[in-house]
Chain A
């Protein structure tokens, strides 16, 4: 069995999806944790976005992290391309469509709509990268000095405030995060099943865990643009 064959069969492709998906889930955890630093302004009036800016700076500070960042892009790329291919391939297998659809009687809508949800997330992602990652990485952002130090870092906090002052952006982000939530609600447990977790006890646990995870991630991410828009969080 060559590696190529192992990863290109219908199950092999799923394994690729699940492995990349799980790494992206790890990334989400890191991402949401770092972003959560903006809420330090609520507890420390002098913070002024400093905790968040430093954390964000750290995420681009070392060679290792930069390499990992490239890896992350590669994973995103594989997950997206593979996912779109699977979705489009599967959609051609039916032939004549049914007159009456099975619909929600047999499964959940978001399990059936991973391709659609993924595409929505992709569109959101493009906007998101253009708004934050590109300016940060290619240095178009205003710099600010960190507290208790001398280094200058990008003032991403300010950038967030600016971006999230527009209602349409906030709505876009909320929708993007909800898509992500549903994508995860299926993807989380599905990834483990694909890797062969079949013990019913663990599968049940993973389903519950996955649902909570999706809810928390969604709420976590949504809370940021919303709190900035309403000015609950500010410099």
Chain B
């Protein structure tokens, strides 16, 4: 792998707080190594800003290995930047070349109000989980782990849905600003496992009610969420959610 350095122009959304008017600011960063991660490039910029006595850019990030779901930047029109199945913390600068201009925006959704700059409030997701995204089993109630065999394919599909890192890229990408992929991933994860069956009807109804209450748009099966999801969560989970809803709301 050839390494190189580059100079870049960044246009970043700056917003003092949730009520302030935001605007784009333009910054220059130089000597960025192709081996850096995208957020490390932001670190360099922030160091520069601090030294100049300016307010550094606030952005959410934590694990920087693509699993905690904190990072959330809308880079050049795509959540998490140009790479597929990727979070922005795992995006590396070899994706860019010298002289590039990069535009960075926060997730845009009324249900995800901007807290500051690129940080948004995604607590709506927590509330959707609170509405029913769990299995009601108190500690100590469990039977032996192998008491219920689970078909490998089902277990694998449940895992595929449970890979969701709750980052909100699906909402950011969705032209309808819908959180249906997130909700579907949780409903699917639990509906596919026998342990989740007793509550499957109330779960789907309550979670959808909360989803709507939070002010997300509705799903029209466009598929931008699937194309964006860093964990490659399939659109078929939404269809499974629809089936769960149909059975819960219409059959009984």
Contacts and interface: CB of A to CB of B under 8 A. Distances in A.
B217 A106 contact: no
Nearest to A13: B218
A139 interface: no
Contacts of A105: 77-78, 227
A99 B211 contact: no
B236 A11 contact: no
Instruction: State which size class the interface on B falls in.
Output: 35 or more
B14 to A, nearest CB: 13
Nearest to A7: B249
Interface in A85-142: 86, 89-90, 92-103, 105-108, 111-112, 114
Contact of A12 (B237, B240, B249): B249
Given A93-B111, A111-B221, A6 B249 contact: yes
Interface stretch (B28-36, B91-99, B125-133, B171-179): B171-179
Contact of B208 (A11, A97, A114): A11
Given A86-B220, A111-B222, A194-B242, A9 B209 contact: yes
B220 A90 contact: yes
A30 interface: no
A112 B77 CA distance: 16
Interface in A193-220: 193-200, 203
Given A14-B220, A105-B78, A198 B109 contact: no
Contacts of A100: 76-77, 103, 105
A107 B220 contact: no
Contacts of B166: none
A100 B101 CA distance: 13
B105 A10 contact: no
A225 B159 CA distance: 53
B236 A10 contact: no
A15 interface: yes
B228 A10 contact: no
Nearest to A107: B224
Contact of A94 (B108, B234, B239): B108
Contacts of A107: 175, 222-224, 227
B215 interface: yes
Contact of B74 (A95, A98, A197, A200): A98
A160 B210 CA distance: 52
Contacts of A199: 236
Contact of B218 (A10, A96, A97): A10
Contacts of B173: 102, 106
A1 interface: yes
B218 A198 contact: no
Interface in B1-32: 11, 13, 22, 24
Interface in B104-119: 105, 108-111
B241 A11 contact: yes
B212 interface: yes
Contacts of B13: 99
A9 B236 contact: no
Contacts of A10: 178, 180, 208, 211-212, 216-219
A155 interface: no
Interface in A1-38: 1, 5-6, 9-15
B224 A102 contact: yes
B242 A196 contact: yes
A198 B227 contact: no
A51 interface: no
Contacts of A53: none
B109 A93 contact: yes
B113 to A, nearest CB: 8
A179 interface: no
Given A6-B249, A11-B245, A100-B76, 5 more contacts: A96-B108, A107-B227, A193-B221, A193-B239, A195-B246
17 contacts: A6-B250, A11-B208, A11-B219, A12-B249, A89-B218, A90-B175, A93-B111, A98-B74, A102-B78, A102-B79, A107-B175, A108-B223, A111-B221, A111-B222, A186-B221, A190-B220, A198-B236
Interface of A: 1, 5-6, 9-15, 86, 89-90, 92-103, 105-108, 111-112, 114, 186, 189-190, 193-200, 203
The 4 closest A-B pairs by CB, nearest first: A196-B243, A100-B77, A10-B218, A198-B239
Interface of B: 11, 13, 22, 24, 74, 76-79, 103, 105, 108-111, 173, 175-178, 180, 205, 208-209, 211-212, 215-224, 227-228, 234-250
